[in-house]
Structure formats: structure tokens, C-alpha cells
């Protein structure tokens, strides 16, 4: 009998750019039920959730492959609703497909939040080291550096979209971080792929931590 988990993207499902790599880690005996906080909304409705000057910025992907920015305050209630729907359907473990920071959710089961998993995994190995961060957009650089300065001796965040010219942007970001002297690079978005990780590792010659890999392996460990 297959094990069943739920996923919630802050964008739209299905996440054809994410789920296959997660499935490869979890194995074929795990069934994934997808949901998206922006499912069923039009581009006009989503545009109304665009971040303002003081907002915490999130970047995600729509079902048509479009990359969009949304404000955390707009998307959080919709994320919570989708998580609840999974648990109400009988699913016991839900993986949030985002490394953004959100308020704590009251849930009816086990919720895996990649931001917390990623942060604590990196904190365990990065003390006293120079930490390079890939983040999807220039608008996220300041908030990324604020978060990761709690961990690294020195931190530099570089924008690199996982959705637009992704390999070219990852390559340029990796070269910048290599020149700066990053000891470890954190790819701080679920949208970054294994291929992008391999490219960044090849260019920097240093360890690289991929958010989706850490998250999926945590789920695999919990499933047993």
C-alpha cells in the first residue's frame, strides 16, 4: 500500500518543476497530493497580491510557468487553508513547498516547513564560515541576508531566478560567490533544481545545500 503525503506550493499546482525530483528521493511507493495557494485564481487576482515596499517578498511559479512575486501577508491565509484541507482529507504529513518565513500554523498533522529544516541544517555546519546565498529576486536580498546573518560569520546573498534563464543566472551567481570566497552556498528556494545545484557546486568548488533536497530527505526519514 502506498504512503500518501500532501504538498502545498505558495503558487499554483501542479509543480511539474519540483515534484519529480522529490518523488525520486521519496521513492515510487509514496503518493503525493498537490495543492497550491493560488490555484483557481486569475492573473489579475494574483497581481493584487503583489508586495509593497514594506512587505516580506515571496517568489513562486504559476501553472503556466510564469514567475510571480506575492506578499507574505496576502498568501499566508491561503496557505493555511490548503494545509488544513490536506489534513482534513486524512493525510498525516504535509510538505510546504517554500523556504519563506511564515507565522506558525495550527495544524491537524505533521507539517514540514523547509525554511526551518534548511536553516537548522545549515546552522549545524556553517558556524564561523562565509555563507553564500542564492535567492530568487533582488527584492529578497536584504531579507535573505538578515535571516542568514544569524548563522554565518559573513553572508552575501545574490539574486538568481530559478524560473527565468535559470542556469545562466545560477552560473553568474556562483561566479560572484566564488570570487567573494563563500565556504558554503545555500540555494534558498524550492524552485532551485538538482541541475542548478550541480552547476553551482562545479563553479564554486565548495559545498552547496539545496532546499528541496534537504526538505525531501527529511520527509523520507519521517516516512521510514
Contact (CB, 8 A) for 94 and 112: yes
Number of Cβ atoms within 10 Å of the Cβ of 140: 23
Taking the model in full, what pTM does it have?
A: 0.95
116-210: which CATH topology? Rossmann fold (3.40.50)
Q: Any idea what DSSP says for residue 78?
A: H
Q: How far apart are CA 38 and CA 40, in angstroms?
A: 6
- From first CA to last CA, the distance across the chain in angstroms is 14
How distant, in Å, are the alpha carbons of 17, 56, 150, 154 from that of 191?
7, 18, 23, 25
SS3 69: strand
Architecture of domain 3-113+213-223: 3-Layer(aba) Sandwich (3.40)
Q: List the chain domain ranges.
A: 3-113+213-223, 116-210
Q: Encode the chain (224 residues) as per-residue pLDDT tens digits.
A: 789 999 999 999 999 999 999 999 999 999 999 999 999 999 999 999 999 999 999 999 999 999 999 999 999 999 999 999 999 999 999 999 999 999 998 888 999 999 999 999 999 999 889 999 999 999 999 999 999 999 988 999 999 999 999 999 999 999 999 999 999 999 999 999 999 999 999 999 999 999 999 999 999 999 98
SS3 77: helix
Amino acid at each position: 500500500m502506498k504512503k500518501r503525503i500532501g504538498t502545498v506550493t505558495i503558487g499554483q499546482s501542479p509543480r511539474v518543476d519540483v515534484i519529480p525530483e522529490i518523488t525520486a528521493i521519496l521513492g515510487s511507493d509514496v503518493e503525493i497530493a498537490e495543492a497550491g495557494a493560488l490555484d483557481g485564481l486569475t492573473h489579475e487576482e494574483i497581481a493584487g497580491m503583489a508586495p509593497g515596499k514594506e512587505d516580506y517578498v515571496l517568489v513562486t511559479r504559476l501553472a503556466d510557468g510564469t514567475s510571480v512575486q506575492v506578499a507574505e501577508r496576502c498568501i499566508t491565509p491561503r496557505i493555511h487553508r490548503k494545509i488544513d484541507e490536506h489534513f482534513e482529507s486524512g493525510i498525516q504529513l504535509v510538505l510546504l513547498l517554500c523556504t519563506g518565513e511564515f507565522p506558525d500554523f495550527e495544524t491537524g498533522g505533521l507539517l514540514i516547513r523547509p525554511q526551518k529544516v534548511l536553516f537548522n541544517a545549515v546552522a549545524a555546519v556553517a558556524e564561523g564560515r562565509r555563507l553564500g546565498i542564492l535567492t530568487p529576486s533582488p527584492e529578497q536580498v536584504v531579507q535573505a541576508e538578515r535571516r542568514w546573518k544569524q548563522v554565518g560569520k559573513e553572508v552575501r546573498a545574490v539574486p538568481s531566478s530559478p524560473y527565468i534563464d535559470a542556469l545562466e543566472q545560477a552560473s553568474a551567481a556562483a561566479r560572484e560567490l566564488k570570487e567573494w570566497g563563500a565556504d558554503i552556498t545555500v540555494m534558498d528556494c524550492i524552485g532551485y533544481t538538482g541541475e542548478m545545484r550541480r552547476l553551482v557546486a562545479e563553479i564554486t568548488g565548495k559545498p552547496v545545500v539545496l532546499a528541496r533536497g534537504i526538505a525531501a530527505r527529511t520527509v523520507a526519514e519521517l516516512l521510514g
